[in-house]
Structure 1
Amino acid sequence: MTAMTDAGEALHPPCSGPSVWRGGDLADREEWILRFSSRRLAEIDSALREARRRDLTLLKLTAADFPIPTLAGELRRIAQVLEHGRGFALVKGLRVEQLGGPAASTVFWGLGQYLGRPVPQNADGHILGHVRDTGRTLTDPATRGYQTRAALPFHTDGADLLALLCLRTPRAGGRTSLVSSAAVHNAVLDLRPDLAKRLYRTYYFDRRQEHPPEEPPYADAPLAARPGGALSMRYNRCYLESAQRFPQVPRLEPADLELFDLMDEVAGSPEFRLDIDLEAGDLLLLNTHTIMHARSEFEDHDQPELKRHLLRLWLALPHRPRSDGARDGVTPRDVIRPRNAASQAETNPRRLPT
């Protein structure tokens, strides 16, 4: 039994446009970096006061409850860059230490409402995620990378957009790296066209025990798809390989491992990757269809109150073509799913992590 099904052997054309970039060309430029001005920070403070006045739980807070009339226009422009441009942006200067954890969470959630619809990040239905070391390791099949301090090779997440707000940095390490999925796609096409054909075949991903009991413990999807003509990349080598523990999953072939090796080599090369040392108050936004991200291993502080901590949102774009299996987050275990996806956002109960 082969490891994937063929979706056609014809070579797809190379990707073009602003989503194709190389880190070496962007490292010394700053057009991808924005900074909150004092005026924008004042607008955020005003929106936070309004949100508190309305006394809503976080999950009920909408963009209308977090009014940022001027900044909203800037977020719309950022959204265009995420969807139709280079696919990522770094916004600096949010005063997270001054805000404190709960207020920073409210601000993060409020800003996210202007970019997309938050979706569950795990089978417990958590919508606002916490990226921090819990002492677990990836040898545990129920553990995911964000719960560890281990190095995380280049991968994509399970939503259309990923938003990360850095609250605290580690003692050492934890560097974030980005790479253009379109540039990696084109490099594979150029270097090994025989392997490039496999990008569009179906593979199987481990769901890390985060699936409803009536569904299989793995998901199937191609690594690359072109819904609506735009590239959508889905890649996580750790989950591709750990899915092999299930006897129902077809075996990976030597050529598949060659493909993964080549993708990892290209993505990790200084020419292609862009390294970012996130600082407290940095807001990183990226399109998971066109950007892969990685993280180096980190050494954390001894004091709990100083340990590395990022807030995370997975955001869905309702208008995004869903022919690649969608990026609608993780299906919660304990909910009854509606008959149609359109009603899912209104009927799924979702809880914040504790």
Structure 2
Amino acid sequence: MPTITTAEEATMLQLQDTASSCGLRRSYLGTEFNQPQVDKNFFKPCRVSIVDDAPRPDIKWNPSYVTFVKRVDRLAVLASDRPTSLPEGFPASVDSARVWSGSDFEKPSSYILNFSEDDIKEIENGLAYFKGLPGDHGPDDVTKETFPLPELAERLKKIAYDLHFGHGFAVLRGLDPDRYSPLDNILLYLGITSYIAETRGAQDYDGRMVVHIKDMEKNLPPETGRPSPYSSRAQPFHTDRCDILAMYALGVGAVGGESLLASSGKVYNEIAANRPDIIHVLANDDWIFDEFLSYPKWQTGALLFDFGAHGPSFCYSRRPITGAPFSPHTPGVPAMTEIQAEALDMVHFTAKKHQISITLQKGDIEIFNNLALFHGREGFVDDESHKRHFLRLWLKNEEMAWETPETLRSQTAELYEKKGLDAPPKWDVDHAPPVPRVITRHMRCS
């Protein structure tokens, strides 16, 4: 049990225990001792005991297929009362263009827009127009109006439509980032993407609007745990917290680093057809998400959500659920169940079965619907002349955006309305965040 050192801590633990016995999840009674807060939306029967060494399923952040198969076989023997129908309100299948398998894209031309020399000239003219505007303007001021692209606009609008109502992803190819300064690279990146999704989201509580995705190992003390955006390790399938995700490749590694995408609609359809009981598990809101603080604190929620006319889709990252070697669970945070472990890995390996692997080139802008697709990446190796360095944006197209499920609306307010930030929006133009930000485990997405 946690050590109680003050009267305030004792009072809070007593309040939590009382609330839990009344059917209120402890995790929603704030553990800031002087500011207890109750979330009225989470009155549900659930009593959770804090234990420091909770037994956990054998499940890894980057999962093992052998372990997954053994778990499936073991649970098949034990489980005799699995649901044989889908939860109420969930369709038998998603039927739309966002349902695909990687083998459907034999021709990369179906998702790559190659910029011509005239296109590049138009982009550079748009950049010059923006920089020539009177007054002091920065990245926040880039819009369709301040960065005119008269010929490209319609093609970029078509890409926006495909992201929301088509297969959900595109690669824009032909830029040479070495031709531009760090600031100009960000400005033209924002100018192009403003025609696809103009609203930009803050990516951390410090208000960072762009994140530099690169291996930071040489910049950190030995044995420092790094979230995946700042490492070279492979990443399992997950989603971020935005509507549209964009990555601009300022540089690529010497080996590896392929971008992996998978249709969440395809994953849903296959699991719904073969294991409807797993859909129940994924849609239940009893998943534990570790907040990775110095004391045990967590949130609960679902992994699978109803996106209205677009059908069911997923929103989660594995690390807060499984922990990771570089980010172990906080002692006292409850463990997931074996059935949840089976469901989580089933999603991953179904996505892997239907993935498309894209080798991005220097200068590419990859952009996709984060609500329609899972993404991951292969591990990579840099050398002196080939260093992977991507700029990530979280975006939203206000006209075409999918309707946000009610349970996800609070995070939308954080991202796009900048609510709850510790600082005004900021732009790290030519560098990654400071070391304390890089090594923190309390992140929105990793």
Scaled by the length of structure 2, what TM-score is found?
A: 0.67
Aligned to 2:185: 104
* Among candidates 203, 228, 232, match of residue 145 of structure 1: 228
Aligned to 1:307: 387
Aligned to 2:173: 92
The question of whether the paired residues in 1 share the 8 Å contact of 2:292 and 2:329 is answered with no
Q: Quick one: distance in 2 between partners of 1:320 and 1:97?
A: 36
* Among candidates 421, 427, 439, match of residue 352 of structure 1: 427
The question of whether the paired residues in 1 share the 8 Å contact of 2:127 and 2:147 is answered with yes
Q: Quick one: distance in 2 between partners of 1:264 and 1:182?
A: 13
Give the AA of the match of 1:287: N
Q: Quick one: distance in 2 between partners of 1:130 and 1:208?
A: 22
Aligned to 1:337: none
Scaled by the length of structure 1, what TM-score is found?
A: 0.84
Aligned to 2:152: 71
Aligned to 1:277: 359
* Among candidates 246, 250, 264, match of residue 181 of structure 1: 264
Q: Per the alignment, in what secondary structure is the counterpart of residue 30 of structure 1?
A: helix
Q: Per the alignment, in what secondary structure is the counterpart of residue 12 of structure 1?
A: coil
Deviation at 1:187, TM superposition (A): 1.2
In terms of mean alpha carbon deviation, does 157-166 or 221-230 score higher? 221-230
Q: Per the alignment, in what secondary structure is the counterpart of residue 69 of structure 1?
A: coil
Give the AA of the match of 2:337: E
* Among candidates 124, 130, 138, match of residue 45 of structure 1: 124
The question of whether the paired residues in 1 share the 8 Å contact of 2:288 and 2:335 is answered with no
CA deviation string 1:314-341 (max 9, x = no partner): 0134454222414857959xxxxxxxx8
Give the AA of the match of 2:104: D
Q: Per the alignment, in what secondary structure is the counterpart of residue 154 of structure 1?
A: strand
Note if 1:232 corresponds to 2:313: yes
Identity %: 27
CA deviation string 1:238-288 (max 9, x = no partner): 22112993567553111111111211111112xx11000110111111001
Q: Quick one: distance in 2 between partners of 1:330 and 1:219?
A: 18
CA deviation string 1:17-64 (max 9, x = no partner): 100000012144521111112222111010010111124111232222
* Among candidates 156, 163, 176, match of residue 246 of structure 2: 163
Q: Per the alignment, in what secondary structure is the counterpart of residue 151 of structure 2?
A: helix
In terms of mean alpha carbon deviation, does 103-112 or 93-102 score higher? 93-102
Structure whose alpha-carbon radius of gyration is higher? 2
Structure 2 spans left out of the alignment, 5+ residues? 1-45, 49-85, 432-446
Q: Per the alignment, in what secondary structure is the counterpart of residue 113 of structure 2?
A: strand
CA deviation string 1:161-188 (max 9, x = no partner): 0000111110111111110011011111
The question of whether the paired residues in 2 share the 8 Å contact of 1:48 and 1:66 is answered with yes
Deviation at 1:147, TM superposition (A): 1.1
Note if 1:321 corresponds to 2:403: yes
Give the AA of the match of 1:251: A
* Among candidates 281, 300, 309, match of residue 198 of structure 1: 281
Q: Per the alignment, in what secondary structure is the counterpart of residue 153 of structure 1?
A: strand
The question of whether the paired residues in 1 share the 8 Å contact of 2:206 and 2:422 is answered with no
Note if 1:81 corresponds to 2:166: no
CA deviation string 1:191-215 (max 9, x = no partner): 2111122221122334556xxx9xx
In terms of mean alpha carbon deviation, does 29-38 or 18-27 score higher? 29-38
Give the AA of the match of 2:305: A
Note if 1:59 corresponds to 2:140: yes
Aligned to 2:90: 12
Tell which has more relative contact order, 1 or 2 (C-alpha 8 A, sep 6+).
1
In terms of mean alpha carbon deviation, does 127-136 or 166-175 score higher? 127-136
Q: Quick one: distance in 2 between partners of 1:194 and 1:244?
A: 29
Q: Which has the higher strand share?
A: 1
* Structure 1 residues 2 and 63: CA distance shift in structure 2, 3 A: farther
Q: Quick one: distance in 2 between partners of 1:347 and 1:151?
A: 31
* Among candidates 343, 347, 366, match of residue 259 of structure 1: 343
In terms of mean alpha carbon deviation, does 29-38 or 151-160 score higher? 29-38
Q: Quick one: distance in 2 between partners of 1:240 and 1:25?
A: 32
* Structure 1 residues 247 and 325: CA distance shift in structure 2, 3 A: farther
The question of whether the paired residues in 1 share the 8 Å contact of 2:245 and 2:370 is answered with yes
Structure 1 spans left out of the alignment, 5+ residues? 333-340
Q: Per the alignment, in what secondary structure is the counterpart of residue 371 of structure 2?
A: coil
Give the AA of the match of 1:88: F
Deviation at 1:96, TM superposition (A): 1.6
Q: Per the alignment, in what secondary structure is the counterpart of residue 184 of structure 2?
A: helix
CA RMSD of aligned residues (A): 3.1
* Structure 1 residues 122 and 344: CA distance shift in structure 2, 3 A: closer
The question of whether the paired residues in 1 share the 8 Å contact of 2:297 and 2:333 is answered with no
Give the AA of the match of 2:303: L
In terms of mean alpha carbon deviation, does 247-256 or 86-95 score higher? 247-256
